[in-house]
Amino acid sequence: MLKKIIIKGAKILTMTAYNEAGIINGDILIEGQYIKEVGKVSYQVDDVEIINGNNCLALPGLINCHTHAAMTLLRGYADDMELMTWLEEKIWPREAKLGADHVYWGSMLAILEMIKSGTTTFTDMYFFMDNVAKAVEEGGIRAVLARGMIGFNDQDNLTLNESKSFISNWHGEGKGRIKCMLGPHAPYTCPPDYLVKVMDLAQELKVGIHIHLAETKQEFDDIRKQYGKTPVKHVYDLGLLNHPVLAAHCVHLTEEDIAILQECSVGVAHNPTSNMKLASGMAPIPQLLEAGIKVGIGTDGTASNNNLNMFEELHLASLLHKVSWGDPTVLPAYQVLQMGTIFGAQTVGLIDEIGTIEVGKKADIILIDLNKPHLYPSHDIVANLVYSAQGSDVKTSIIDGQIVMKDREVLTIDEEKVIYEAQRYAQKIME
């Protein structure tokens, strides 16, 4: 018999409406992985688990559209540096010391942090991805995973073959919670002939492509100098955008680039904190949304953020674009929350499964404890979520119909052990 859960008597923000009118009062019935009823639910006490939703807001779990989970081990290690110096002198030399166990425990720490702050799905690009997938499977979270590939270092196609094996082994695993993509790092680390190989493999495996694109002014200038075109136009001419693509950052874009992204239905992962911290610039998110481009929000890795708190990311995204445009009406609260939920699901190709609370969707739901001083008075719940709520306000998280956190206790992960092991492995790579 399928496990049944009822969230009873909550405020429910379904994210199915185009505005805040999507808030209803009622119950949510979950059977197995799926949402079965939303509103007033009839039930029998002896065959369901009841979660008291009194003074709570239920909403779809947040979707972190771009991160590098195991970089939790490098949190705070190399701050206040520009991107290429940060990568070449600090990050890449330390990452060369990482082994499979480092990545496993770093990923477990990231998953713990994400669950406790309301993220139910994350999109990851890194290495030793079998160990990331194991952490996802054990932690109970949903993930879209890609083995990061540096084309210049893969003359023998070993990483390409590793990616193929990884996708064959893990795509659809974890009861469907794990999806896979190919992860060429960026146009400046993957030459054209390598990207052609990636495209051929994507076609063979029928998976999408996750790539960093147009992140910095230096990348924009270097690619244009080398190939005579912008990074977006460069990968477009290669045919990369004929595949389902998740493009991280997209900070430096021309009007032609925006038209290309729209034409090719590219999903964009906006990473406001990372872009600010590394001084990479401000992605033209209002223009992208106006063009109908799918835009979600990501944290990037904790080495350039320094946390995985999506509530903070939503808050900063809204404020950043208001001040950059000089217009307080830009990126209003509900639109930003859409980027964290339904738009994020579209961006990572999971809109048929998650992103809203409606019958037939997978049960990825979080409960926000509204009984907090900073959430009173409640003139506008959505505004409070974006401008006042904290990740620590998440009381309960349900992923794929499984309660993974209840009353702030994570049920799938030994929190004390994960913190201990992550600290131990972080110290090893600094030796």
Query: Are 139 and 55 members of one domain?
Result: no
Domain count, the chain: 2
Residue 343 lies in a domain: yes
**314-336: per-residue pLDDT in tens?**
999 999 999 999 999 999 999 99
pLDDT reported for residue 45: 58
Residue 354 lies in a domain: no
Query: Are 19 and 142 members of one domain?
Result: no
Query: Are 312 and 378 members of one domain?
Result: no
Mean of per-residue pLDDT scores for the chain: 95
pLDDT interval class at 302 (50, 70, 90) = very high
Residue 84 burial (10 A CB sphere; 0-12, 13-18, 19+): middle
Domain boundary among 347, 378, 401: 347
Residue 27 lies in a domain: yes
Query: Are 89 and 42 members of one domain?
Result: no
CATH code of residue 396: 2.30.40.10
Q: What angle do CA 330, 308, 396 make, to 5 degrees?
A: 95
Query: Are 81 and 114 members of one domain?
Result: yes
Q: What is the domain range of residue 368?
A: 4-60+360-410
pLDDT interval class at 20 (50, 70, 90) = low
pLDDT interval class at 86 (50, 70, 90) = confident
**105-133: per-residue pLDDT in tens?**
999 999 999 999 999 999 999 999 999 99
3-state SS track over 256-271: HHHHHHHHCCCEEEEC
pLDDT reported for residue 191: 97
Domain boundary among 307, 323, 347: 347
Query: Are 159 and 33 members of one domain?
Result: no
Residue 118 lies in a domain: yes
Residue 416 lies in a domain: no
Query: Are 26 and 175 members of one domain?
Result: no
DSSP 361: S
Strand partners, 24: 12
Residue 429 lies in a domain: no
Q: What is the Cα–Cα distance from 218 to 271, expressed in whole angstroms?
A: 18
pLDDT reported for residue 291: 98
Query: Are 168 and 261 members of one domain?
Result: yes
CATH code of residue 229: 3.20.20.140
Residue 329 lies in a domain: yes
CA 411 vs CA 21, 96, 134, 383, 402: distances in Å: 33, 33, 17, 30, 10
Query: Can you tell me the mean pLDDT for 230-242?
Result: 98
Q: What is the Cα–Cα distance from 115 to 134, expressed in whole angstroms?
A: 16
Query: Are 145 and 258 members of one domain?
Result: yes
Cα 330 from chain centroid (whole Å): 23
Residue 194 lies in a domain: yes
Query: Are 228 and 180 members of one domain?
Result: yes
Query: Are 178 and 277 members of one domain?
Result: yes
Residue 95, pLDDT > 70, answer: yes
Query: Are 237 and 300 members of one domain?
Result: yes
**119-168: per-residue pLDDT in tens?**
999 999 999 999 999 999 999 999 999 999 999 999 999 999 999 999 99
pLDDT reported for residue 44: 66
β-bridge pairing 142-149 and 178-184: parallel
Strand partners, 362: 34
Q: What is the Cα–Cα distance from 84 to 216, expressed in whole angstroms?
A: 9
Window from 46-60, 191-205, 285-299, 353-367 with minimum mean pLDDT: 46-60
pLDDT reported for residue 19: 60
